[in-house]
Structure 1
């Protein structure tokens, strides 16, 4: 069985930038260690990617904090994480979930049995969105979220997202 790791939005703005938290800073080493346990070809990542007009978008009106503006330092993957991921396996996404990533993983699953593990930021927004999108695309595939390698907007929202994921038959480790 092929094990696939998906690293969600380990970008500077979510770690120590405009939307950063001490919990996000605290998972960087654990995420790096997790990545090192996988073959490079089996590691995929997402990058939250916004344009200069972010504050004019629906998301920007609901979360009026400019972040992950493409080609800014806040948009970049963390310097400890970036070199560990093949650029060909990075998916830019303008919203919470990446349909392109889910389609790519579904193509892999057509050829071989897989198990998917997700880590990253933020548990209650993009991690939960991508986990449930993958569950919709691949309902019979085991999907795992490593809670120790995730952080939410708040600790309470992180824990609530983990409960939602459990309810949707995503394994929490």
Structure 2
């Protein structure tokens, strides 16, 4: 495995594409993300995934009170990765995360690779919530790693908030393509 570069696919789950928080923009990027995953796999680069994961008590959490739409409840169809990506994922390379940005993510990546990667590329949803949160955590944890986000492979809650998030990441020295 070529560990210098990895792809991290953020929360490409049914609830964000066709489910309770469906987003047309997210549905439009699936094919391009599949092609990106296949390219990384062909070059023997690791591909990891995150999966937004909530429990039945979701509505009682701060997030649930501010966004009272149950979604990505562990074990449900909405929690699963979309079918086109699920077939490309290995379960041990999927990190369940209960919040927008995972503080476990950097350590998990380093343990999986037994190294700090030179480059991490992110794609997925939502640009303005989970993608930006995890990009910032990775940039802080690995300040000498190139963290890249390809805007065309991400979707935000709205096209406007997507663009705002890309601009914010660029200002924080995330490489935005």
* TM surpasses 0.5: yes
CA offsets, 1:92-131, max 9 Å, x none?
0000112222112244677365210000000000000000
Answering whether residue 8 of structure 2 is matched by residue 11 of structure 1, we say no
Give 1:41 shift.
5.9
Equivalent in the alignment of 1:114 = 118
Q: Which residue of 2 aligns with 1:87?
A: 91
Contact 2:51 2:79 in 1 (8 A): yes
**CA deviations over 1:122-149 (Å, ceiling 9, x no partner):** 0000000000000010011101001111
How many equivalent pairs are there? 173
Gaps of 5+ in 1: none
Question: Deviation string for 1:49-75 (max 9, x for gaps)?
Answer: 000111111000011111000100000
Q: How does 1:15-164 map to 2 (within 5 A)?
A: 15-39=17-41, 42-107=46-111, 111=115, 113-164=117-168
Distance in 2 separating the partners of 1:48 and 1:73 = 13
TM-score by length of 2: 0.92
Give ranges in structure 2 of 5+ residues lacking alignment: none
Gap change, CA 1:108 and 1:139, over 3 Å in 2: farther
